[in-house]
Amino acid sequence: MRVLNYYDKSRLDPDLKKLALTIRRRLRKDKDLVIGISGGEGTGKTTLGIILGALIDPKFDLERSISLIPNEQEIKEEFNKLGRYQCYMIDEAIRSLYKMNFMSNLQQMLIQMWATERYQNKATIMIIPRFKDLTEYFRNHRVKLWIHVFDRGRAVLYLRDDNPYLDDPWHLKDIDKKFKKAKDNYVDMDVDQKIERESKRMNYFDNIFFPDLPEELKKKYFELRQESREIFFQELKEQEETQISKTARQLRQTRDRLIHYLMKIKKPLNYEGLEEITTISKPTLMKIVKSQQKIVDKENLAREKLIGETGVDKHLAEAIEIQRKRNIPTFARV
């Protein structure tokens, strides 16, 4: 489902179209580009990402050009399926809520992928809740354009300051200081007031206006998102069940070893006493001890075999070395 088929380009914001054209020209100069789009829930950051992606790449498609709730392998496969100069969008917000290290893992994978696939000259749009969710290295060295969506249809474009002597090319530290000193309450400002303030920032470049998704396109997007969520939650459930099963198996192994230790090594403990303590039946306890004894016998046999093959020489070498350090004469010196 190609997105541009649902829009009259002549009615789109001229500045948004100019931005897309600039990006298209950049890609054709043998470069790639990473764009971060941030914003609160329900502000329309995904909508803007879809429209911008379609303006950059006329073939931009909801099913093939967007990764909804992605994993690293899926991103690699879908990214490489796209042709040169195309645009790929990553919508990761839901997954990052459930896996706190996902953003870090994702960014590491993307850095490695772009290092080897930069020749494809593609644009990548990342939809993120907050710009600071990106690691410092990632946002300072990989993201060239940052768009923050303040409300439906209203956003601001920032450009990275490429002064090589700066360690904070987005001047985020300076902004934090100014916010602390400001007397007015940013939260109480309306959208126009917020954008007016943003226009005074060093990285500010332009205001962006964008329309909503057409109903048919919106319906298709929500269907794809719901399908992706169902798959994701099923994967999450399977992972949790696997982890629970693994943990239960480890606990059972520890329990069995402890029972064997109490019955065969620690002593004196009889099955009746152990049955009362553990609430495990005597026949089951006997099976556990018998099974663990086989494991212990096998381990002992392997240990004896190892000593038989290397132990004498090894122990002799160790003894000589200890005596040498103590300056004690040994038969090796005689």
Q: What are phi and psi for residue 179, nearest 5 degrees? A: -65, -40
Q: How far is CA 15 from the centre of its chain?
A: 33
Contacts of 113 (CB under 8 A, 6+ apart): 75, 76, 79
Of 105-119, 136-150, 318-332, the least confident: 318-332
Residue 224's CB is within 10 A of a number of other CB atoms, namely: 15
Q: Residue 207 pLDDT more than 50?
A: yes
Report how far Cα 174 is from the mean position of its chain's Cα atoms: 28
Say if residue 328's pLDDT is above 70: no
- pTM reported for the whole predicted model: 0.68
Three-state SS sequence of the chain: CEHHHHCCHHHCCHHHHHHHHHHHHHHCCCCCEEEEEEECCCCCHHHHHHHHHHHHCCCCECCCCEEECCCHHHHHHHHHHCCCCCEEEEECHHHHHHCCCHHHHHHHHHHHHHHHHHHHCCEEEEEECCHHHCCHHHHHHCCCEEEEEEECCEEEEEECCCCCCCCCCCCHHHHHHHHHHCCCCHHHCCHHHHHHHHCCCCCEEEEEECCCCCHHHHHHHHHHHHHHHHHHHHHHHHHHHHHHHHHHHHHHHHHHHHHHHHHHHHCCCCHHHHHHHHCCCHHHHHHHHHHHHHHHHHHHHHHHHHHHHHHHHHHHHHHHHHHHHCCCCCCCCC
The interaxial angle of helices 282-306 and 215-260, nearest 10 deg, is 80
Domains of the chain with bracketed CATH: 3-213 (3.40.50.300), 238-325 (no CATH)
Pairwise CA distance, residues 334 & 326, whole Å = 16
d(CA 36, CA 130): 9
Q: For all residues of the chain together, what is the average pLDDT?
A: 81
Q: Look at residue 326 and tell me whether its pLDDT is greater than 50.
A: yes
**Selected residue with higher pLDDT from 309 and 167:** 167
pLDDT value, residue 101: 55
CA angle 207, 213, 216 (to 5 degrees): 170
pLDDT tens for each residue of 84-110:
999 999 886 445 434 445 566 667 777
Q: Does residue 232 carry a pLDDT above 80?
A: no
Of 25-39, 161-175, 232-246, 308-322, the range with the lowest mean pLDDT is 308-322
d(CA 79, CA 66): 9
The span from the CA of 6 to the CA of 12, in Å, is 12
What would the mean pLDDT of 24-40 be, rounded to a whole number? 94
- Determine the pLDDT at residue 331: 41
Q: Which position has the higher pLDDT, 331 or 177? A: 177
